[in-house]
Amino acid sequence: MKKKIALVSGGYSKEDVVSFNSAKEIAVSIDPEKYEVFLVLINREKWVYIDKTGNEFSLDKNDFTVKVNSKIIEFDAVFITIHGTPGEDGKLQGYFDMIKMPYNTCNAFTSSLTFNKVATKKYLETLGIKTAPYFFLRRNQNYEVKEIVKKLGLPMFVKPNAGGSSFGVTKVKEEKELANAIENAFAEDNEVLIESFIDGTEVTCGLIKTKNGKIIFPATEIVSKNEFFDYDAKYNGEADEITPARITDKQMEAVKSLSSDIYDALDCFGIVRIDYLMRNDELFVIEANTVPGMSAASIVPQQAEAYGMTTRELFSIVLQETLERKA
């Protein structure tokens, strides 16, 4: 009998569009011989199952079941593809833990930790893993522009501490731009991270570990046509994503090895993508993505193809691990 999979997209943030695009790709890639996929939308207004004709059926939040034409559907597992809150920051993971529903991402703690960029930096630094020098601000906290510039130099990046898809991110080249950039980031979050500019090659590495071993994809080199890897570069084709990255074999192995170490250190589960800046042979972690994009334009599907694996094979591995995760 086919396993019933709730493919959850939407979310509470601007990243819902990215989530919908990922869900479309995942839905057509999941093996229909093994799994029956149910598209589920979660946003601030509703939690609903959407059938193939567009009809919506409300989910019972007590047990995440849905009643369709007097029949109650119980899901075997959840495939979370929400980018941002509540699918990437641990909130949904905590809910699914409470109702004992297996899901495909990292646990609630790891998801919450990695969604907080400063917390992740502080944790990784205790392990001797390098990240860019930074300055951290909370809303209504006083700061001196000159002090920040003196500490970090120019240019620098200003970004929301939580969030993704480069919303609210600014590359600051001149001191006079910093205050506006900070306000722009505060429009997205109550905390702001300001980081030194690292002049290097941007690379990213996707991976998954299972009971049968690990799959570490070849790293991708990102060459943005804009000032940095912003939303348009990520999703509107304004960047060259080169897989495998144009780095030496030694550097490639270093990226893969560090990605594997970080995956273990953060107690990750499922598909994770870790972003870096490489300056010569030095690696600086940008962030760990525990719900990486899976749309046709996304990086992990490109890496899987370069590895010699179809997305159907990849998602079958994910779902098998997820189903066996159930407590």
Predicted pLDDT of residue 237: 60
Q: Are 111 and 272 in contact (CB under 8 A)?
A: no
Residue 165 pLDDT more than 60? no
Average pLDDT over residues 57-83: 97
Q: How far is CA 130 from CA 8, 71, 169, 285, 300, in A?
A: 34, 53, 21, 6, 23
Residue 45 pLDDT more than 70? yes
Per-residue confidence at 224, pLDDT binned at 50, 70, 90? Answer: confident
230 vs 271: which has the higher pLDDT: 271
Per-residue confidence at 195, pLDDT binned at 50, 70, 90? Answer: very high
The counts of H helices and E strands in the chain are 10, 17
Q: Are 233 and 293 in contact (CB under 8 A)?
A: no
Per-residue confidence at 238, pLDDT binned at 50, 70, 90? Answer: low
CA distance 277 to 197: 10
Average pLDDT over residues 162-188: 89
Residue 192 pLDDT more than 90? yes
pLDDT tens for 242-263 read 999 999 999 999 999 999 999 9
Q: Are 160 and 139 in contact (CB under 8 A)?
A: no
- The domains found in the chain, sorted by start residue, are 3-104 (3.40.50.20), 112-130+198-325 (3.30.470.20), 134-196 (3.30.1490.20)
Residue 74 pLDDT more than 90? yes
Does the reported pTM lie above 0.75? Answer: yes
φ/ψ of 26, rounded to 5, equals -65, -40
pLDDT tens for 280-296 read 999 999 999 999 999 88
Q: How far is CA 139 from CA 132, 171, 184, 186, in A?
A: 22, 20, 12, 7
Mean pLDDT value across the chain: 93
CA distance 207 to 266: 13
Q: Are 241 and 220 in contact (CB under 8 A)?
A: yes
Predicted pLDDT of residue 220: 98
Residue 249 neighbours by CB under 8 Å, 6+ apart: none
User: For the chain, first and last CA: distance in Å?
Assistant: 21
CA distance 246 to 221: 7
Per-residue confidence at 230, pLDDT binned at 50, 70, 90? Answer: very low
Predicted pLDDT of residue 94: 98
Residue 307 neighbours by CB under 8 Å, 6+ apart: 215, 217, 218
Predicted pLDDT of residue 151: 97
Residue 227 pLDDT more than 80? no
CA distance 51 to 57: 8
Predicted pLDDT of residue 232: 47
